[in-house]
């Protein structure tokens, strides 16, 4: 009898929605630990060349993270504006947003990176000659800033479609109910529609971040000293492609899996049940 009383509260809690106590952890974190262990063993057992590669590429890792995070923050802003433009009843705003999405999605990211890096300085310098502005005439491109801008423009088009689909997935009755309570269209969109839409689009937004982290390796072609470029430089100096690209691949892999686990955690925290 005492044993039944002892277990009664725990059984009762299991019938409360959200009251279950889950002791199961995300098993994929063990893969992160395994990859980190492999990297550690390679560095300890074969310091030449694996430790040398890590030390040489550590600033490239920071640049990769910087480009990815900075671009993603701007991508969310551009995607939000583009997504709202794609559902706008204003024909001009809708037309500009649609043209942007359709044109940018049709050009590969690598081509856009090269175009922004080589074409934009020429245009700015020509504009400086036309405006007689010495600052514009002497403009020199910043590789990191240019890469962030190019990635933002490219991925912003895809994010615009994600945001648009998320907004359109919210039942129209939600907007009508908000307006009937006296909210303006902006207030209803901000406080009612967008919070529900972002819950829906959170998984694809997370996938975009992971894809962006991998595609950031393309910025190495426009003189950005990221992880991939550092790997190429180390290989060219020491002629050991197997060791170099094995370590670079492991570093990318651990960053990608950690990002995926964080995204999965955020999804679980923001998940809600529908009845």
Please tell me the distance from the alpha carbon of residue 55 to that of residue 59, in angstroms, as a whole number.
8
The pLDDT value given to residue 19: 42
HSE-CB for 16 with a 13 A CA cutoff: 9
Q: Is 133 helix (H, G, I), strand (E, B) or coil?
A: coil
N residues, the chain: 275
Instruction: Decide if 221 is inside a domain.
Output: yes
The pLDDT value given to residue 244: 95
Instruction: Decide if 139 is inside a domain.
Output: yes
Instruction: Decide if 3 is inside a domain.
Output: no
Number of domains in the chain: 1
Instruction: Decide if 19 is inside a domain.
Output: no
The pLDDT value given to residue 253: 95
> What is the tens place of the pLDDT at every residue in 196-251?
998 889 889 999 999 999 999 999 999 899 999 999 999 999 999 999 999 999 99
Instruction: Decide if 75 is inside a domain.
Output: yes
Instruction: Decide if 76 is inside a domain.
Output: yes
Whichever domain contains 207, its CATH number is 1.10.3720.10
- Return the exposure string of 49-64: e unless at least 16 CB atoms fall within 10 Å of the residue's CB, then b: bbebbbebbeebbebb
Distance (Å) of CA 38 to CA 35, 83, 227: 5, 42, 19
Instruction: Decide if 275 is inside a domain.
Output: no
Give every residue of the chain whose pLDDT is below 70, as ranges: 1-25, 271-275
The pLDDT value given to residue 181: 86
Q: Are 3 and 11 in contact (CB under 8 A)?
A: no
The pLDDT value given to residue 25: 61
The pLDDT value given to residue 24: 53
DSSP string, 83-122: HHHHT-S-HHHHHHHHHHHHHHHTS-HHHHHHHHHHHHHH
DSSP string, 27-92: TTHHHHHHHHHHHHHHHHH-IIIIIHHHHHHHHHHHHHHHHHHHHHHHHHHHHHHHHHHHT-S-HH
Angle made by CA atoms 266, 270, 271, in degrees to the nearest 5: 115
The pLDDT value given to residue 272: 54
Please tell me the distance from the alpha carbon of residue 80 to that of residue 163, in angstroms, as a whole number.
6
Q: Which domain holds residue 142?
A: 28-270
Please tell me the distance from the alpha carbon of residue 194 to that of residue 166, in angstroms, as a whole number.
8
Instruction: Decide if 17 is inside a domain.
Output: no
Q: Are 101 and 161 in contact (CB under 8 A)?
A: yes
Stretch (H or E) spanning 263: helix 241-270
């Amino acid at each position: 009898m005492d044993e039944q009383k002892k277990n009664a509260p725990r059984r009762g809690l299991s019938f409360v929605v959200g009251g279950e106590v889950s002791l199961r952890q995300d098993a994929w974190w063990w893969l992160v630990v395994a990859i980190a262990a492999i990297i550690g063993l390679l560095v300890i057992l074969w310091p030449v060349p694996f430790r040398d590669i890590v030390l040489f590429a550590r600033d490239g890792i920071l640049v990769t993270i910087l480009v990815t995070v900075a671009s993603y923050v701007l991508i969310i802003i551009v995607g939000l504006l583009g997504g709202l433009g794609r559902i706008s009843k204003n024909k001009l705003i809708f037309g500009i947003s649609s043209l942007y999405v359709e044109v940018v999605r049709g050009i590969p990211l690598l081509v856009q990176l090269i175009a922004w890096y080589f074409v934009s300085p020429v245009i700015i310098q020509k504009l400086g000659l036309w405006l007689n502005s010495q600052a514009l005439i002497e403009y020199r491109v910043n590789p990191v800033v240019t890469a962030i801008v190019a990635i933002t423009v490219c991925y912003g088009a895809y994010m615009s479609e994600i945001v648009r689909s998320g907004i359109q997935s919210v039942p129209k009755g939600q907007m009508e109910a908000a307006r009937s309570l006296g909210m303006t269209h902006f207030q209803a969109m901000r406080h009612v529609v967008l919070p529900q839409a972002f819950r829906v689009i959170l998984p694809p937004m997370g996938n975009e971040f992971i894809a962006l982290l991998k595609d950031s390796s393309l910025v190495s072609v426009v003189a950005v000293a990221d992880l991939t470029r550092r790997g190429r430089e180390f290989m060219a100096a020491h002629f050991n492609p197997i060791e170099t690209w094995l370590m670079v691949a492991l570093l990318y892999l651990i960053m990608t899996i950690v990002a995926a686990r964080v995204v999965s955690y955020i999804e679980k925290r923001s998940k809600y049940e529908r009845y």
